[in-house]
Amino acid sequence: MSYKDILEKARAGDRISAMEACQLFRTAPLLTLGETANYLTRQKHPEPIVTYIVDRNINYTNICISQCRFCAFYRHTDHPEGYLLEWPILEKKIEETLAQGGIQILMQGGLHPQLEITFFEELLTRIKTHFPEIHIHGFSPPEIIHISRQSNLTIPQTLVRLKAAGLGSIPGGGAEILSDRVRKLISPNKCTSQEWLLVMEQAHKLGLRTTATMMYGHIETIEERIEHLIKLRELQDKTGGFTAFIPWSFQHPNTALGKQKPSFAFDYLKTLAIARIVLDNFANIQASWVTQGSKIAQIALFFGANDLGSTMLEENVVRSAGVSFCLTEADLRRLIADIGFIPYRRNTFYDLISS
């Protein structure tokens, strides 16, 4: 089957296989892929709307025992730059977020060797007591697994307790590539691909919606990128709990993988378009202006993306790797409007709030 046949199959609403997706990666022209991805996006979102959310990333600690080779953010326990945010600082960050119209905080941190479930329960409870209106989108699957192990709890027990304390949804961080060959090489101390998927499945069963991510462009093969997408598609078939998919390219400066050849915009747009074609059961795909910049983010809105993500009033992890694109809400709205779409604020669950 030629790439043209595969794209026609996708346009007709038929699901493509892993082998067919790999063929698209290797043989389909970029603009042809983009045309099909855009067609599929418009089928799911016929209104000329592009969404975004006003929120803030809060990295509550950078102390981490995982020591992933792609990460420039983490610090050892005794490192002078290691930190665990104290309440007054965290409180100020949330107040600033609300003052700028934010409705959510995205809380993620390192795998701290001394924090157990009670720390997170007290933290969540304190946040919701002082700021009941804020939505907490927090703790990626590796963090959930780490908390469960530190606390001698099962994953479901951990999720139940975090949800009861105020956790509203879970970000898709820590997925990298859902291939254990890759994970053993770039993040050997982090959870396996099956464990990542298990956290998400258990979260969905408890009514916690989540996002899914992919960090590509390091040591993975094309087949492993597709393996990642297929695993997400299979779990979405089972639970329907993913709200969106967000791919981004590996940022190599200041990391142990720094000698890797960087991935550029061509690869990003191709990966994005194929993700839209493969993930036929995902309603939303997010463009990563944080790693690609504003111009590529605009192009991404014609290559399968329908959302520009967050205003990110604060971002530390990607910045640690030497990449620092900063956009205000006004910038995001202008980027959307300049290419003919209507900007809309949304919430975590992709409900429209205001234009």
Domains contained in the chain, CATH given: 20-348 (3.20.20.70)
Tokens of 148: 């469960």
HEC assignment per residue over the chain: CCHHHHHHHHHCCCCCCHHHHHHHHHHCCHHHHHHHHHHHHHHHCCCCEEEEECEEEEECECECCCCCCCCCCCECCCCCCCCECCHHHHHHHHHHHHHCCCCEEEEECCCCCCCCHHHHHHHHHHHHHHCCCCEEEECCHHHHHHHHHHCCCCHHHHHHHHHHHCCCEECCCCCCCCCHHHHHHHCCCCCCHHHHHHHHHHHHHCCCCEEEEEEECCCCCHHHHHHHHHHHHHHHHHHCCEEEEEEEECCCCCCCCCCCCCCCHHHHHHHHHHHHHHCCCCCCEECCHHHHCHHHHHHHCCCCCCEEEECCCCCCHHHHCCCCCCCCHHHHHHHHHHCCCEEEEECCCCCEEEC
Model pLDDT, residue 189:
81
> For the chain (length 355 residues), average pLDDT per consecutive 10?
96 97 97 98 97 93 74 68 90 93 92 92 98 97 95 98 98 94 87 96 98 93 97 98 94 55 84 98 94 91 96 57 64 95 97 89
Q: How many CB atoms are closer than 10 A to CB 328? A: 12
pLDDT of residue 181: 95
pLDDT at residue number 69: 61
Query: For residue 323, what pLDDT is reported?
Result: 44
Compute CA distances 43 → 12, 264, 350, whole Å. 11, 28, 17
Q: b/e map of 66-103 (b: 16 or more CB within 10 Å)?
A: bebbbbbbbbeeeeeebbebeeeebeebbeebeeeebb
**pLDDT computed for residue 322 by the predictor:** 40
> What predicted TM-score, i.e. pTM, was given to this entire model?
0.91
Strand partners, 215: 248
Question: Contact, 44 vs 32, CB < 8 A?
Answer: no
Q: Quote the pLDDT of residue 259.
A: 60
Q: Which sign, positive or negative, has the C-alpha torsion 98, 102, 108, 109?
A: negative
Contacts of 137 (CB under 8 A, 6+ apart): 55, 104, 105, 106, 107, 168, 169, 170, 171, 348
Report the candidate in 338, 68, 86, 332 with the shortest Cα–Cα distance to residue 186: 68
pLDDT the model gives residue 121:
98
pLDDT at position 252, please? 56
Helix-helix angle 30-44:3-11, to 10 degrees: 10
The Cα 55–Cα 131 span in angstroms is 14
- Specify the pLDDT at position 68: 64
